A and B are shown apart, each in its own frame.
Chain A
Amino acid sequence: MPVVTWLKRRLVVIAGLITLGYLLLPNIVVTVFSFNQPKGRFNYEWQQFSTAAWQDPCGVSGLCGSLSISLQIALWATIGATVLGSMIAFALVRYRFRARGAVNSMIFLPMAMPEVVMAASLLTLFLNLGAQLGFWTILIAHIMFCLSFVVVAVKARVMSMDPRLEEAARDLYAGPVQTFLRVTLPIAAPGIAAGALLAFALSFDDFIITNFNAGSTVTFPMFVWGSAQRGTPVQINVIGTAMFLVAVLLVLTAMVISNRRTKRKA
């Protein structure tokens, strides 16, 4: 039975390809439908090929405005959550202080709590404080829920760092600032970068918490949701595809750079 043998030998590869297909299929559909020219207001059935939406991605009113707001919030939320989260991670790993255990587990609460509950309670809080809902309330909420993920990512890295490396740096004439810049930061960098990427992705596509606390501000996920009620412009697929391509490009660049580096060193 040569076919059975052939299948047996390649079982792992075949299973891998099927899983990969399962993961990528939604992206392929989004990409394909970004070249569609729908008949009605809904872009759910293939009609005919067109590049019209790609030539005019901002052609739908409000779309590019909401995209810009989402990118700004994601950027600031990433910076805020990464700086705060990294500091918390260092404090939790490196220092012994009162209530350290409690803080350690409370950091996980926002991850474990259902988003809807957090969204509603945040809204209650903002309303009681008399805060003006909008850009700033969204940003505060995003930094808050990204924080736990950054802490987890950075903590894992800091825990595997040998504290003697910093002692060695201090022993070799590096003051506190130099030690941090030359030794601590470069070694912790992969963990911090992973935390930052995670924060950006989470903030960019968050819908539930944002929807509760946005006031009249409209982010990109809110715009997509809103337009899905009335009809989906092809431009949404264009933006989605573009984001996907940018992410893929970033990953590829990172891989090429690290490959070159290892080759040069060896």
Chain B
Amino acid sequence: MKTTNDSGGDVRLTGIGKTYGAFTAVHPLDLTVPQGSFFALLGASGCGKTTTLRMIAGLEEPTTGTVHLGDQDVTHLPPYKRPVNTVFQSYALFPHLDIFENVAFGLRRRGIKSVKKQVEDMLELVQLGEQARKKPHQLSGGQQQRVAVARALINHPKVLLLDEPLGALDLKLRRQMQLELKRIQTEVGITFVHVTHDQEEAMTMADTVAVMNAGRVEQLGAPADLYENPRSTFVANFLGTSNLIEAEVDTRSGDDIVLRAGGGKLVLPAARCTAPTAAGGKVLVGVRPEKISLTHADDAGSIPEGRNRITGTIADASFIGVSTQYVVDSAVCPELAVYAQNVERDGRLVPGAEVVLHWSPAHTFGLDADQDIDAGVGSVEEEAA
């Protein structure tokens, strides 16, 4: 096995782009995936994430830019000369070969004669030792998925590429395989680049997530950072749910910006605002549904000072066990979403009730109003359909 103390597992994409005729699949982008990390490319279908992955694999020739693995320029190397292996969507196991030969394929092509021990060890790692002589179609979806991982990993690639590897599995199995893949990655220490449209999957597994939209990287960062500090409406809506309220800059006081929305005032930390903050400018104020507290209008006096507040009427409430999801109509913004943990439920919070929504200004983020407020909404559902 190769030692990995050199920077051999770094993936560096420099100005890499891909166009098909007049259609631009990937706009020139720079991306560095550090050695040993678990990196996710997240986006809806057609956003260019798979094309980017295929350019790293060598299955797609970039129109512009270069691909480096460590210090080696592999831009013009064919896939069979790159120290990179791929776990394909729907696995692409060879139907005419049994499981053992599928896993041994890469070793044999590189002229390694004694493959038995290595293949058996690898099948043990993915818990398929018993199935070695079966054909792929005789295995379940989850087992096929593990064969695909074993077939790629046995070659000790510098980078393992995963193209929607869990897309064909049912929800429960998918959760299980997410943990399994994460465990394998920690165990072997190989750089993983994972393409997915499932934001939960990306956040659960990856150290770093790059959110892609229409051939560009919208934002890159650790999952928690992306979730807490989205810098565009697409990221705010695509990763979880966001309430976005149109507001106007009123004044600036110290580190905070005071905004007018409807008749009320909202406070936003200047550091969390990516929009220009000149007085009179438009800003989209964002807050996540679970950061908002709901109080019945009769108890409005008990709300501490200094919190952002909006009044409204409950339009809908759905009880889903651990939490209740409310939709609140307000003059400021129709259909605000609020998720409340079911710790102590207030029996008065039923549809039609007058309520006050309030949250800490620290949980507020500001976005440039000059973009589509609904970008990224529903992209996940489209993909699932």
User: A residues bordering B, Cβ < 8 Å?
Assistant: 162, 164-165, 167-175, 178, 182-183, 186-187, 265
B134 CB-CB contact with A under 8 Å: yes
Structural contact, A164 and B92, CB atoms closer than 8 A: yes
Let me know if A162 and B105 touch, CB within 8 A.
Answer: no
Please tell me which stretch of B79-87, B197-205, B222-230, B320-328 contacts chain A, meaning at least 4 of its Cβ atoms lie within 8 angstroms of it.
B79-87
Q: Can you list 5 A-B pairs with a CB-CB distance of less than 8 A? A: A169-B94, A170-B79, A171-B84, A171-B86, A265-B134
Is B70 among interface residues, defined by CB-CB distance under 8 A? no
Q: Which residue of B lies closest to A187 (CB)?
A: B96
- B133 at interface (Cβ–Cβ under 8 A)? yes
CA distance A174 to B133 in the complex (A): 22
Residues of A within 8 A of B92 (CB): 162, 164-165, 167-168
The reply on B106 being an interface residue by CB < 8 A is yes
- Of the candidates A170, A173, A183, the one whose C-beta lies within 8 Å of that of B94 is A183
Interface size class of B (residues with CB under 8 A): 20 to 34
List the A side residues contacting B90 at CB < 8 Å.
Answer: 162, 164
B98 at the interface (CB under 8 A from A): yes
* Selected contact of A164 from candidates B80, B85, B88, CB within 8 Å: B88
Question: Within the complex, what minimum Cβ distance (angstroms) separates B358 from chain A?
Answer: 52
B135 within 8 A of A: yes
Is B254 engaged at the interface, CB distance under 8 Å to the other chain? no
B-chain residues with CB within 8 Å of residue A265 when the two chains form the complex: 98, 133-135
The number of inter-chain residue pairs (CB within 8 angstroms) is: 65
Min CB gap B339→A, angstroms: 40
Establish whether residues A187 and B86, one from each chain, have CB atoms under 8 Å apart when the complex forms.
no
A242 to B85, CA, bound (A): 54
CB–CB A175/B80 < 8 A: yes
Contact with A along B58-82 (1 / 0, CB 8 A): 1100000000000000000011100
Q: Confirm or deny: B95 has a beta carbon within 8 angstroms of a beta carbon on chain A.
A: yes
Are B59 and A169 touching (Cβ within 8 A)?
no
List of A residues within 8 angstroms of B134 by Cβ? 265
Report the Cα distance A265→B133, complex, angstroms: 6
In angstroms, Cα B101 to Cα A265, docked, is 13
CA A53 to CA B333, docked complex, whole Å: 99
CB of B109 within 8 A of CB of A172, answer: yes
Instruction: Evaluate contact between B96 and A171: CB separation under 8 angstroms.
Output: no
Contact partner, B80, options A173, A183, A186, Cβ 8 Å: A173
Residues of A within 8 A of B78 (CB): 170, 175
